[in-house]
Structure 1
Amino acid sequence: MAGSEQHYTLPRGSVSKPTKVLIVVAPYYKDIADELIAGATAEIEAWGATPEVIEVPGALEIPTAIAMAGRMSDYDAYVALGCVIRGETTHYDTVCNDSSRGITLLGLQGFSIGNGILTVENRDQALARARVAEQNKGGGAAAAALHLLALSRKWGASKSGVGFLPVADEASLTGKA
């Protein structure tokens, strides 16, 4: 059982400048979503960042909401939260695969996102993963987003003076027009 395994987690970091983190949650299973939000919010605040929570209808809408926020707002990082419990149809596979794919594609575009969408077989597995006192996957997703943001800020330093000069600038340096 995964709950009894020990896993390494990176040490908690902190932010050195104001940081806004958007938590996008699909509260289809409200009690599970509330636990995920509690864990994510506590982790974000422990880093010294500010969380904001918005709700969307379902897990499939989470990547779209994050993409919209990325274009239209000024968040520094994002946490995707929700729960998909296997049912009797293949809809489970579609929701799991497509929400994950959407989040991955946004991450590859440079968004700092922690994926805390639980994909489980039953409610007991979901609760064990969501509860702050147990596996705290909401907190883990928030930590992942903030660790990615820290890397983004580290590597996003100014690159002035690197590369080629435009032709006009080169002419002004040599005195040749």
Structure 2
Amino acid sequence: MAATEQHYTLPLPQFDKPVKLLIVVAPYYKDITDQLVAGAEGVATACGAETEVIEVPGALEVPTAIAMAERMANYDGYVALGCVIRGETTHYETVCNDSSRAITLLGLQGACIGNGILTVENRPQALARAEVAGQNKGGGAAAAALHLIAHARRWSGARKGIGFRSDAGHQA
């Protein structure tokens, strides 16, 4: 059903200064995540962004690696990539929910993250979403990170007060 719907996609942002993106991928289903990475790199290149790709053991480690990089490295944003296919146990729900929640919390703390961790019922769904010539969810995740970076740069000079003006800001 989703294949027949039309969706609006924001135009890619443009940048005056260089952008560094870290792509963090859990390559458990490598054929699928290779497509996600290719899509993310393609969109990043279209915006003139520099990328670095690192691999982690699984989807649960993706947000941990992003948090470490946010504290210890110098990236403008992050692209979280991986694939979780439903299995026979409740592990699927744990991995999907916890990785997504951790990525969301990092974003709420100010990290510019595009979440491209696929959570699907089966391999055909994953392939349809990962293929660069298909739904290109890796590219979509990179675009999301780049849009957040553009907003962060736009707002980086703006500071709100806490409800009053200091004497320094008051014209007498």
Q: Scaled by the length of structure 1, what TM-score is found? A: 0.90
Kindly state the Cα deviation for residue 3 of structure 1 after the two structures are TM-superposed.
Answer: 2.2
Q: Secondary structure at the match of 1:140?
A: helix
Identity over aligned residues, as a percent? 72
* Residue of structure 2 in register with 1:155 after alignment: 155
Task: Structure 2 unaligned segments of length 5 or more: list them.
Answer: none
Counting matched residue pairs gives 168
Q: Which shows bigger deviation, 79-88 or 2-11? A: 2-11
- When residues 79 and 163 of structure 1 are mapped into structure 2, their CA distance, relative to the original with a 3 A threshold, is farther
The 1-side partners of 2:45 and 2:165 are apart by: 39
Kindly state the Cα deviation for residue 104 of structure 1 after the two structures are TM-superposed.
Answer: 0.2
The 2-side partners of 1:99 and 1:159 are apart by: 31
Structure 1 moving runs of 4+ over 6 Å:
none
* Residue of structure 2 in register with 1:31 after alignment: 31
Kindly state the Cα deviation for residue 16 of structure 1 after the two structures are TM-superposed.
Answer: 1.1
For 1:23-48, what per-residue CA distance to the aligned partner results, in whole angstroms no more than 9, with x for missing partners?
00000000000000000000001011
* Residue of structure 2 in register with 1:87 after alignment: 87
Counterpart code for 1:3: A
The 1-side partners of 2:32 and 2:14 are apart by: 27
Q: Please provide the CA RMSD for this pair.
A: 2.0
Structure (1 or 2) with the larger CA radius of gyration: 1
Counterpart code for 1:104: T
Kindly state the Cα deviation for residue 96 of structure 1 after the two structures are TM-superposed.
Answer: 0.1
Task: Structure 1 unaligned segments of length 5 or more: list them.
Answer: 167-177
The 2-side partners of 1:160 and 1:98 are apart by: 32
Q: Is the 8 A contact 1:84 1:118 kept in 2?
A: yes
Q: Secondary structure at the match of 1:17?
A: coil
